[in-house]
């Protein structure tokens, strides 16, 4: 790690950070995980938010067996350890009907999930390009339709998302695609990332390119 700098700042790297965070990966899905050089401050800097994001994403309707098993193993255990965390995560849980099934809906702290995804994309981009972009515009399509979304808003969102969907992405292979996959594209002087967790939870992030160092 000679002369390596941190993925998130210009300090010398003294350790490695997993991206996505290690705790997203169940046992048996931890082969060749992606790491980036990191300073002490940016190593596990957001571990509380990481735990929150992992718990919420594995709870989501539609995550695959790997995500659901990980929820049973890890998220339930972290709720056992901390009833406060459980209450905070599902404070306003209420039944709603989705695709004919009754499921629990709760208000998410999307800013915390966005912060985790921002760090994740910063790290992936540093690894792929050596370019350090600390701030990304993060979009979480799975969480963008709330009960009070109007049809006009929904239509606007659909157009926006289909625009992202039409981009020609460069798919980056990962060794645990049931947990995490991603792809990137360079367009109009900027970058777009498309991340997918547990084959269900999608993240888009975009940022203008910074000048090369």
Q: Which residues bind Zn ion (CB under 5 A)?
A: 6, 8-9, 11, 39, 42
Instruction: State the nearest-atom distance from the C-beta of 41 to Zn ion, in Å.
Output: 5
Give whichever of 57 and 124 is closer to Zn ion, judged by the CB atom: 124
104 near 17, Cβ under 8 Å? no
Give whichever of 8 and 207 is closer to Zn ion, judged by the CB atom: 8
The answer to whether the bond into 20 is cis (omega within 30° of 0) is yes
Give whichever of 7 and 198 is closer to Zn ion, judged by the CB atom: 7
182 near 170, Cβ under 8 Å? no
Instruction: State the nearest-atom distance from the C-beta of 29 to Zn ion, in Å.
Output: 27
29 near 179, Cβ under 8 Å? yes
Give whichever of 129 and 174 is closer to Zn ion, judged by the CB atom: 129
- Burial of 211 (C-beta count, 10 Å sphere; 0-12/13-18/19+): exposed
Instruction: State the nearest-atom distance from the C-beta of 114 to Zn ion, in Å.
Output: 19
Residue nearest to Zn ion (CB): 6
């Amino acid at each position: 790690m000679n002369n390596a700098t941190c993925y998130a700042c210009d300090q010398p790297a003294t350790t490695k950070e997993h991206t996505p965070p290690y705790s997203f990966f169940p046992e048996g899905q931890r082969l060749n995980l992606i790491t980036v050089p990191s300073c002490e401050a940016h190593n596990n800097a957001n571990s509380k938010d990481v735990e929150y994001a992992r718990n919420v994403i594995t709870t989501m309707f539609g995550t695959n067996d790997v995500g659901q098993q990980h929820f049973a193993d890890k998220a339930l255990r972290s709720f056992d350890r901390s009833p406060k965390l459980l209450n905070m995560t599902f404070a306003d849980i209420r039944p709603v009907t989705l695709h004919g099934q009754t499921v629990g809906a709760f208000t998410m702290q999307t800013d915390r999930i966005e912060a985790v995804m921002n760090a994740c994309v910063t790290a992936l981009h540093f690894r792929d390009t050596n370019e350090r972009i600390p701030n990304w515009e993060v979009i979480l399509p799975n969480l963008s339709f709330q009960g009070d979304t109007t049809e006009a808003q929904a239509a606007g969102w659909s157009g926006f998302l289909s625009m992202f969907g039409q981009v020609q992405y460069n798919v980056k292979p990962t060794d645990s695609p049931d947990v995490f996959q991603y792809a990137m594209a360079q367009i109009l002087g900027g970058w777009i990332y498309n991340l997918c967790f547990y084959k269900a939870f999608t993240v888009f992030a975009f940022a203008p390119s910074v000048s090369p160092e």
